[in-house]
Amino acid sequence: MRELQLSLNQTQKVRLQRALEKLESLSSKANSNASVTVADSIPVNYEDGLLKGHGTSEFNGEVVATVCGIVERVNKLVYVRALRARYKPEVGDIIVGRVIEVAPKRWRVEINYSHDAVLMLSSMNLPDGIQRRRTALDELNMRSIFEENDVICAEVRGFQHDGLHLQARSQKYGKLGRGQLLTVPPYLVKRRKQHFHHLENYGIDLIIGCNGFIWVGEHVQVTDDMVVDQVNKSEQDDAKPDENSISPEDQGKNYTRQETRENICRAANAIRVLSTLGFNITVEVITETVDLSTSINVAIHEMLGSEFYVLVAEKESVRRSMTKKK
């Protein structure tokens, strides 16, 4: 059972222990043939050309595991996939990061990896949306696009001689605002086909980064017609309104409704609860946790209380047992 830093009474401790033991038994039965611990022997067919990959070693003529994890086999390659490991970037991963430096023709981004990533000016869309060569003026205006401490979303492009490179060549990538950035262990986030989610019932966007950074924010409608926005902006600049006067339209653009802010906080607390319990972070589990809090009328600040942790663990054990029966 995971050591949770929660102030539980005796009844809650018993309930939580039962739920976690049930979850552990279900997961151990599902991976009983593939899970190994350190120094366990890995049964392999001693055929010619057997390749021993990561997490394996040869000892006294046997292949043994050097890490705890799941045994994976790809043709003649045998390796152990660690259950808990640091984020290892792969080409095409959707990540959320924070800009830490604006350098010549590039931004340095923190992505919860052993090294900072690099986003080149040539690897992203310009604000005007026109595909053209980057000029010296574009390099001078880099801070108008991203500056230090901005939270951005990008895609892993690949490794080059100067480090890990990112790209943001779509309108769905770019600067993120009006939300919360959460950090969870990267091994709780599994690679899926879709990492961008719009929770219509709550009016919020959810970006589950493969690197363990998760963004919960107000829903933003992605539009490809960036030229129209620039034309409207130029017309507004020609009007030259008073600096102290703010139009109602501008107030609406800069204002987030209280209901939306509450939904953002509720979804963020649901992710914190799931991360503390060590459950995999998926949009389905997050939605179920948020629905659970609303169905039993739990206040947002009470979601981080001991009782709600126990309820989430019990609900997850019931869900997995029902899934296994099916």
- What does DSSP say about strands 163-168 and 213-218: parallel, antiparallel, or unpaired? unpaired
- The closest of 152, 188, 210 to 273, measured between CA atoms, is 188
Q: pLDDT at position 32, please?
A: 52
Please give the Cα distance from 310 to 314 (Å, whole number). 6
Residues 6+ apart with CB under 8 A from 82: 55, 67, 68, 69, 187
Please give the Cα distance from 61 to 59 (Å, whole number). 5
Contact (CB, 8 A) for 54 and 60: no
Cβ neighbours around 17 below 10 Å, total: 14
Residues 6+ apart with CB under 8 A from 39: 64, 65
- The closest of 154, 126, 146 to 138, measured between CA atoms, is 126
Q: pLDDT at position 31, please?
A: 53
CATH of 34-82, one of 3.60.21.10, 2.40.110.10, 2.40.50.100, 3.40.50.2000: 2.40.50.100
Domain extent listing, the chain:
34-82, 84-175, 177-219+257-325
Architecture of domain 84-175: Beta Barrel (2.40)
Contact (CB, 8 A) for 20 and 1: yes
Q: Which residues pair with 82 in a beta bridge?
A: 69
Please tell me what DSSP assigns to residue 43.
P
Both structure tokens of 174: 């770019």
Both structure tokens of 104: 């010549």
Handedness of CA 243, 248, 249, 254 (dihedral sign): positive
Weakly modelled stretches of the chain, pLDDT under 70 = 1-5, 28-33, 46-48, 129, 222-253, 325-326
CA atoms within 13 A on the CB side of 160: 10
Amino acid symbol at 311: L
Please give the Cα distance from 132 to 124 (Å, whole number). 11
How does DSSP assign 62-80, residue by residue?
A: EEEESSSEEEEEETTEEEE
